[in-house]
Amino acid sequence: MGHLATQNYINLGFFLTLMDTSHTHIDDYVRRLLAEKQYRPTVVALVFQQLTFSYAPPQREYLLVKERPEPQEDPLEIGPFLPPVIWHCPQGGVEPEDCEQPHILERALARELSEELHLAFPDDLTMIEPSLHNESLHEPGRQHRGFSQGKHYFFGLIQARPDIPLRPSADIADCHWSTYQQAICHFNVLRTTKARLLAYALERAEQFLSP
pLDDT by residue, tens only, the chain of 211 residues: 333 343 444 444 444 434 434 568 899 999 999 999 999 999 999 999 998 877 777 789 999 998 776 655 544 555 554 445 578 999 999 999 999 999 999 999 999 999 999 999 999 999 999 999 999 998 876 666 788 899 999 999 999 998 898 999 988 989 999 999 999 998 887 778 888 999 999 999 999 998 7
Residue 112 near residue 92, CB atoms below 8 Å: yes
Cross-strand pairs, 190: none
Q: What is the pLDDT of residue 22?
A: 52
Q: What is the pLDDT of residue 58?
A: 78
Q: What is the pLDDT of residue 139?
A: 82
- What predicted TM-score, i.e. pTM, was given to this entire model? 0.82
Spatial CA neighbour of 205 closest among 155, 146, 169? 155
77 DSSP assignment = S
181 DSSP assignment = H
d(CA 100, CA 89) in angstroms, rounded, equals: 25
Residue 147 near residue 39, CB atoms below 8 Å: yes
Q: What is the pLDDT of residue 53?
A: 75
d(CA 28, CA 87) in angstroms, rounded, equals: 31
d(CA 8, CA 115) in angstroms, rounded, equals: 10
Q: What is the pLDDT of residue 176?
A: 94
For the beta carbon of residue 93, count every other beta carbon within 10 angstroms.
16
- Residues with Cβ < 8 Å from 55, sequence gap 6 or more? none
98 DSSP assignment = G
d(CA 84, CA 142) in angstroms, rounded, equals: 18
Q: Which amino acid is residue 60, in one-letter code?
A: R
Q: What is the CA radius of gyration of the chain?
A: 17
